[in-house]
Amino acid sequence: MHVPDGFISVPVALGTGLVSTGAIAISLKYSQFPFSQKTAPIFGFTTALIFAAQMVNFPVTGGTSGHLLGGVLAAIILGSPWLAILSTALVLMIQAVFFADGGITALGANILNISVIGVGVGWGLTQILRTQFGNSWNRLPLFAGIGAGISVVMAAIACSIELALSHTVPLGVVLPAMTGIHILIGIGEGLITAAVIAGLVKFRPDLFVEIEQPLKGWLIPVTGIYLVAAILSLFASSWPDGLEAVAEQVGFAALAENIRVVVPTPFADYRISGLDILGTSISGTVGAIICFLTAFVMIKFTQSVNSDRNIVKP
Protein backbone atom coordinates (compact mmCIF):
# COMPACT_ATOMS: atom_id res chain seq x y z
CA MET A 1 0.00 0.00 0.00
CA HIS A 2 2.92 2.30 -0.67
CA VAL A 3 1.53 5.51 -2.18
CA PRO A 4 3.75 6.60 -5.09
CA ASP A 5 4.56 10.14 -6.18
CA GLY A 6 1.71 11.76 -8.12
CA PHE A 7 -1.25 10.15 -6.37
CA ILE A 8 -1.77 12.81 -3.70
CA SER A 9 -1.80 16.60 -3.93
CA VAL A 10 0.82 18.93 -2.50
CA PRO A 11 -1.44 20.13 0.38
CA VAL A 12 -2.24 16.53 1.37
CA ALA A 13 1.44 15.57 1.11
CA LEU A 14 2.42 18.51 3.32
CA GLY A 15 -0.37 17.86 5.82
CA THR A 16 0.37 14.17 6.19
CA GLY A 17 4.07 14.98 6.36
CA LEU A 18 3.52 17.31 9.30
CA VAL A 19 1.32 14.80 11.12
CA SER A 20 3.85 12.02 10.56
CA THR A 21 6.73 14.20 11.72
CA GLY A 22 4.81 14.97 14.89
CA ALA A 23 4.03 11.29 15.40
CA ILE A 24 7.69 10.36 15.05
CA ALA A 25 8.70 13.07 17.53
CA ILE A 26 6.11 11.81 20.04
CA SER A 27 7.26 8.22 19.48
CA LEU A 28 10.87 9.21 20.16
CA LYS A 29 9.76 10.86 23.39
CA TYR A 30 7.59 8.03 24.69
CA SER A 31 9.97 5.26 23.66
CA GLN A 32 12.63 6.65 26.01
CA PHE A 33 12.06 4.13 28.79
CA PRO A 34 14.92 2.21 30.46
CA PHE A 35 16.16 -0.07 27.68
CA SER A 36 17.27 -3.63 28.27
CA GLN A 37 20.51 -4.93 26.80
CA LYS A 38 18.63 -6.68 24.01
CA THR A 39 16.44 -3.76 22.91
CA ALA A 40 18.89 -2.46 20.29
CA PRO A 41 19.57 -5.77 18.52
CA ILE A 42 15.90 -6.78 18.55
CA PHE A 43 14.90 -3.34 17.25
CA GLY A 44 17.43 -3.87 14.46
CA PHE A 45 16.25 -7.40 13.73
CA THR A 46 12.61 -6.33 13.69
CA THR A 47 13.23 -3.43 11.33
CA ALA A 48 15.20 -5.67 8.96
CA LEU A 49 12.49 -8.35 9.16
CA ILE A 50 9.71 -5.90 8.26
CA PHE A 51 11.75 -4.63 5.30
CA ALA A 52 12.38 -8.18 4.06
CA ALA A 53 8.76 -9.26 4.57
CA GLN A 54 7.43 -6.28 2.61
CA MET A 55 9.40 -7.49 -0.43
CA VAL A 56 7.29 -10.65 -0.57
CA ASN A 57 3.95 -10.01 -2.25
CA PHE A 58 1.45 -12.85 -1.88
CA PRO A 59 -1.39 -13.41 -4.40
CA VAL A 60 -4.84 -12.43 -3.20
CA THR A 61 -7.44 -12.66 -5.96
CA GLY A 62 -8.21 -11.50 -9.46
CA GLY A 63 -4.62 -10.69 -10.40
CA THR A 64 -4.02 -8.69 -7.22
CA SER A 65 -1.37 -9.21 -4.55
CA GLY A 66 -0.64 -7.90 -1.08
CA HIS A 67 2.28 -7.77 1.29
CA LEU A 68 2.81 -7.57 5.02
CA LEU A 69 2.64 -4.11 6.58
CA GLY A 70 4.09 -5.47 9.81
CA GLY A 71 3.11 -2.77 12.28
CA VAL A 72 1.41 -5.08 14.76
CA LEU A 73 4.12 -7.72 14.44
CA ALA A 74 6.74 -5.07 15.23
CA ALA A 75 4.74 -3.73 18.19
CA ILE A 76 4.35 -7.19 19.76
CA ILE A 77 8.00 -8.14 19.33
CA LEU A 78 9.23 -4.78 20.61
CA GLY A 79 6.60 -4.53 23.34
CA SER A 80 5.88 -0.91 22.43
CA PRO A 81 3.74 0.84 19.80
CA TRP A 82 6.16 3.78 19.92
CA LEU A 83 9.13 1.64 18.95
CA ALA A 84 6.98 -0.04 16.28
CA ILE A 85 6.09 3.33 14.75
CA LEU A 86 9.79 4.21 14.62
CA SER A 87 10.73 0.82 13.17
CA THR A 88 8.16 0.83 10.37
CA ALA A 89 8.82 4.51 9.62
CA LEU A 90 12.53 3.71 9.20
CA VAL A 91 11.62 0.94 6.77
CA LEU A 92 9.45 3.29 4.71
CA MET A 93 12.17 5.96 4.60
CA ILE A 94 14.83 3.47 3.50
CA GLN A 95 12.51 1.97 0.89
CA ALA A 96 11.71 5.38 -0.59
CA VAL A 97 15.30 6.66 -0.66
CA PHE A 98 17.28 3.56 -1.62
CA PHE A 99 14.74 1.44 -3.51
CA ALA A 100 12.24 3.89 -5.08
CA ASP A 101 9.46 2.00 -3.30
CA GLY A 102 6.84 4.51 -2.23
CA GLY A 103 6.99 8.13 -3.29
CA ILE A 104 9.42 10.59 -1.77
CA THR A 105 6.68 13.23 -1.84
CA ALA A 106 4.19 10.71 -0.40
CA LEU A 107 6.46 9.58 2.45
CA GLY A 108 4.40 11.45 5.04
CA ALA A 109 1.21 9.76 3.84
CA ASN A 110 2.82 6.32 3.86
CA ILE A 111 4.16 6.78 7.39
CA LEU A 112 0.79 8.05 8.56
CA ASN A 113 -1.12 5.13 7.01
CA ILE A 114 1.24 2.25 7.72
CA SER A 115 3.18 3.33 10.80
CA VAL A 116 0.87 5.63 12.75
CA ILE A 117 -2.62 4.35 11.91
CA GLY A 118 -1.57 0.75 11.20
CA VAL A 119 0.37 0.39 14.44
CA GLY A 120 -2.03 2.46 16.54
CA VAL A 121 -5.18 0.62 15.50
CA GLY A 122 -3.62 -2.84 15.48
CA TRP A 123 -1.79 -2.50 18.79
CA GLY A 124 -4.78 -0.87 20.47
CA LEU A 125 -7.17 -3.60 19.37
CA THR A 126 -4.70 -6.32 20.39
CA GLN A 127 -4.39 -4.82 23.87
CA ILE A 128 -8.17 -4.55 24.23
CA LEU A 129 -8.55 -8.23 23.32
CA ARG A 130 -5.78 -9.19 25.77
CA THR A 131 -7.52 -7.22 28.52
CA GLN A 132 -10.97 -8.65 27.83
CA PHE A 133 -10.08 -12.28 27.13
CA GLY A 134 -6.95 -12.94 29.15
CA ASN A 135 -3.39 -11.74 28.85
CA SER A 136 -2.01 -15.12 27.88
CA TRP A 137 0.95 -15.62 25.54
CA ASN A 138 -0.85 -18.63 24.08
CA ARG A 139 -3.75 -16.41 23.00
CA LEU A 140 -1.55 -13.58 21.80
CA PRO A 141 -1.10 -14.89 18.22
CA LEU A 142 -4.89 -14.90 17.70
CA PHE A 143 -5.39 -11.43 19.18
CA ALA A 144 -2.45 -9.99 17.25
CA GLY A 145 -3.68 -11.61 14.04
CA ILE A 146 -7.08 -9.96 14.43
CA GLY A 147 -5.49 -6.60 15.23
CA ALA A 148 -3.12 -6.88 12.27
CA GLY A 149 -5.88 -7.74 9.83
CA ILE A 150 -8.07 -4.81 10.87
CA SER A 151 -5.08 -2.44 10.84
CA VAL A 152 -4.64 -3.08 7.11
CA VAL A 153 -8.26 -2.14 6.41
CA MET A 154 -7.98 1.05 8.48
CA ALA A 155 -4.79 2.03 6.66
CA ALA A 156 -6.60 1.48 3.35
CA ILE A 157 -9.47 3.70 4.48
CA ALA A 158 -7.00 6.45 5.42
CA CYS A 159 -5.33 6.12 2.01
CA SER A 160 -8.73 6.40 0.32
CA ILE A 161 -9.51 9.61 2.19
CA GLU A 162 -6.13 11.09 1.18
CA LEU A 163 -6.79 10.26 -2.47
CA ALA A 164 -10.24 11.85 -2.26
CA LEU A 165 -8.91 14.99 -0.54
CA SER A 166 -6.34 15.23 -3.34
CA HIS A 167 -9.17 15.14 -5.93
CA THR A 168 -7.49 12.12 -7.48
CA VAL A 169 -10.64 10.02 -7.32
CA PRO A 170 -14.03 10.46 -5.59
CA LEU A 171 -14.30 8.87 -2.16
CA GLY A 172 -17.44 6.98 -3.17
CA VAL A 173 -15.44 5.26 -5.91
CA VAL A 174 -12.12 4.56 -4.21
CA LEU A 175 -13.30 3.67 -0.69
CA PRO A 176 -15.29 0.51 -1.53
CA ALA A 177 -12.62 -0.64 -3.99
CA MET A 178 -9.77 -0.15 -1.52
CA THR A 179 -11.69 -1.57 1.42
CA GLY A 180 -12.83 -4.66 -0.46
CA ILE A 181 -9.40 -5.75 -1.66
CA HIS A 182 -7.65 -4.85 1.59
CA ILE A 183 -10.03 -6.97 3.63
CA LEU A 184 -8.56 -9.92 1.76
CA ILE A 185 -5.02 -8.61 2.17
CA GLY A 186 -5.77 -8.07 5.86
CA ILE A 187 -6.64 -11.75 6.21
CA GLY A 188 -3.19 -12.58 4.85
CA GLU A 189 -1.59 -10.05 7.18
CA GLY A 190 -3.41 -11.55 10.15
CA LEU A 191 -2.43 -15.11 9.31
CA ILE A 192 1.24 -14.23 8.78
CA THR A 193 1.37 -12.15 11.97
CA ALA A 194 -0.27 -14.88 14.02
CA ALA A 195 2.02 -17.57 12.59
CA VAL A 196 5.23 -15.62 13.24
CA ILE A 197 4.24 -14.70 16.79
CA ALA A 198 3.15 -18.28 17.55
CA GLY A 199 6.50 -19.55 16.31
CA LEU A 200 8.43 -17.05 18.40
CA VAL A 201 6.37 -17.79 21.52
CA LYS A 202 7.10 -21.51 21.17
CA PHE A 203 10.70 -21.52 19.96
CA ARG A 204 12.31 -18.12 20.64
CA PRO A 205 10.52 -16.18 23.40
CA ASP A 206 13.83 -14.44 24.08
CA LEU A 207 13.22 -12.39 20.93
CA PHE A 208 10.38 -10.50 22.65
CA VAL A 209 11.73 -7.39 24.35
CA GLU A 210 9.30 -7.60 27.27
CA ILE A 211 10.27 -11.18 28.17
CA GLU A 212 13.22 -10.98 30.51
CA GLN A 213 15.41 -13.58 28.91
CA PRO A 214 18.85 -12.94 27.42
CA LEU A 215 19.24 -13.39 23.69
CA LYS A 216 20.15 -16.98 22.87
CA GLY A 217 22.06 -15.99 19.75
CA TRP A 218 21.88 -14.06 16.50
CA LEU A 219 22.32 -16.88 13.99
CA ILE A 220 18.67 -17.89 13.59
CA PRO A 221 17.24 -14.33 13.33
CA VAL A 222 19.97 -13.31 10.86
CA THR A 223 19.50 -16.45 8.77
CA GLY A 224 15.72 -16.06 8.75
CA ILE A 225 15.88 -12.45 7.61
CA TYR A 226 18.41 -13.33 4.90
CA LEU A 227 16.26 -16.18 3.59
CA VAL A 228 13.22 -13.89 3.34
CA ALA A 229 15.09 -10.95 1.77
CA ALA A 230 17.35 -12.88 -0.61
CA ILE A 231 15.48 -16.11 -1.38
CA LEU A 232 11.77 -15.89 -0.62
CA SER A 233 11.59 -12.46 -2.31
CA LEU A 234 12.43 -14.15 -5.62
CA PHE A 235 9.09 -15.97 -5.46
CA ALA A 236 7.02 -12.84 -4.73
CA SER A 237 3.89 -12.39 -6.81
CA SER A 238 4.33 -10.06 -9.77
CA TRP A 239 0.68 -9.03 -9.66
CA PRO A 240 -0.01 -5.40 -8.69
CA ASP A 241 -0.68 -4.78 -5.01
CA GLY A 242 -4.02 -3.55 -3.71
CA LEU A 243 -3.46 0.17 -4.33
CA GLU A 244 -1.90 -0.41 -7.75
CA ALA A 245 -4.77 -2.68 -8.77
CA VAL A 246 -7.38 -0.13 -7.68
CA ALA A 247 -5.48 2.65 -9.50
CA GLU A 248 -5.51 0.61 -12.72
CA GLN A 249 -9.15 -0.35 -12.27
CA VAL A 250 -10.38 3.17 -11.51
CA GLY A 251 -8.06 4.93 -13.93
CA PHE A 252 -5.52 7.05 -12.06
CA ALA A 253 -2.48 4.75 -12.32
CA ALA A 254 -0.86 6.99 -14.96
CA LEU A 255 -0.44 9.77 -12.38
CA ALA A 256 2.46 7.84 -10.86
CA GLU A 257 4.33 8.00 -14.16
CA ASN A 258 3.76 11.73 -14.63
CA ILE A 259 5.49 12.65 -11.35
CA ARG A 260 8.16 10.34 -9.98
CA VAL A 261 10.95 11.53 -7.71
CA VAL A 262 13.78 8.99 -7.67
CA VAL A 263 16.95 9.41 -5.65
CA PRO A 264 19.89 8.07 -7.73
CA THR A 265 20.63 4.59 -6.38
CA PRO A 266 21.75 1.26 -7.89
CA PHE A 267 18.91 -0.51 -6.05
CA ALA A 268 15.85 1.25 -7.54
CA ASP A 269 12.85 -1.10 -7.76
CA TYR A 270 14.94 -3.77 -6.00
CA ARG A 271 16.95 -4.37 -9.17
CA ILE A 272 20.57 -4.02 -10.21
CA SER A 273 21.27 -3.43 -13.87
CA GLY A 274 22.50 -6.56 -15.62
CA LEU A 275 22.02 -8.96 -12.70
CA ASP A 276 18.41 -10.10 -13.22
CA ILE A 277 17.09 -12.08 -10.22
CA LEU A 278 20.50 -11.95 -8.52
CA GLY A 279 20.00 -8.19 -8.34
CA THR A 280 16.82 -8.72 -6.32
CA SER A 281 18.64 -10.98 -3.85
CA ILE A 282 21.48 -8.51 -3.47
CA SER A 283 19.07 -5.57 -3.10
CA GLY A 284 17.08 -7.40 -0.44
CA THR A 285 20.21 -8.32 1.48
CA VAL A 286 21.63 -4.79 1.28
CA GLY A 287 18.30 -3.32 2.33
CA ALA A 288 18.03 -5.62 5.35
CA ILE A 289 21.57 -4.70 6.41
CA ILE A 290 20.85 -0.97 6.03
CA CYS A 291 17.66 -1.35 8.09
CA PHE A 292 19.40 -3.30 10.84
CA LEU A 293 22.37 -0.95 11.13
CA THR A 294 20.26 2.22 11.01
CA ALA A 295 17.85 0.92 13.64
CA PHE A 296 20.59 -0.48 15.88
CA VAL A 297 22.61 2.76 15.83
CA MET A 298 19.47 4.82 16.42
CA ILE A 299 18.57 2.91 19.60
CA LYS A 300 22.16 2.87 20.84
CA PHE A 301 22.30 6.64 20.35
CA THR A 302 19.00 7.05 22.21
CA GLN A 303 20.29 4.88 25.05
CA SER A 304 23.43 7.00 25.26
CA VAL A 305 21.46 10.25 25.36
CA ASN A 306 19.14 8.89 28.06
CA SER A 307 22.11 7.71 30.12
CA ASP A 308 23.71 11.15 29.94
CA ARG A 309 20.49 12.80 31.07
CA ASN A 310 20.22 10.46 34.06
CA ILE A 311 23.71 11.27 35.34
CA VAL A 312 23.42 13.32 38.49
CA LYS A 313 26.01 16.09 38.44
CA PRO A 314 27.73 16.88 41.80
pTM of the model: 0.95
Contact 107, 261 (CB under 8 A): no
Category of 134 on φ-ψ map: left (φ > 0), alpha (ψ -120 to 50) or beta: left
Question: Given a cut of 80, is residue 221 above it in pLDDT?
Answer: yes
For range 171-180, the mean pLDDT = 97
Domain presence at residue 5: no
Q: Which of 134-138, 173-177, 208-212, 276-280 has the lowest mean pLDDT?
A: 134-138
Q: How many domains does the chain have?
A: 1
Domain presence at residue 231: yes
Domain presence at residue 276: yes
More confident call, 37 vs 231: 231
Confidence of residue 142 (pLDDT cuts 50, 70, 90): very high
Instruction: Summarize the chain as % helix, strand, coil (round to 5).
Output: 70, 5, 25
Displacement of CA 77 from its chain's centroid (Å): 13
Domain presence at residue 1: no
For range 36-50, the mean pLDDT = 93
What is the residue range of 236's domain? 10-310
Domain presence at residue 174: yes
Give the domain CATH number at 163.
Answer: 1.10.1760.20
Domain presence at residue 102: yes
Domain presence at residue 3: no
Domain presence at residue 58: yes
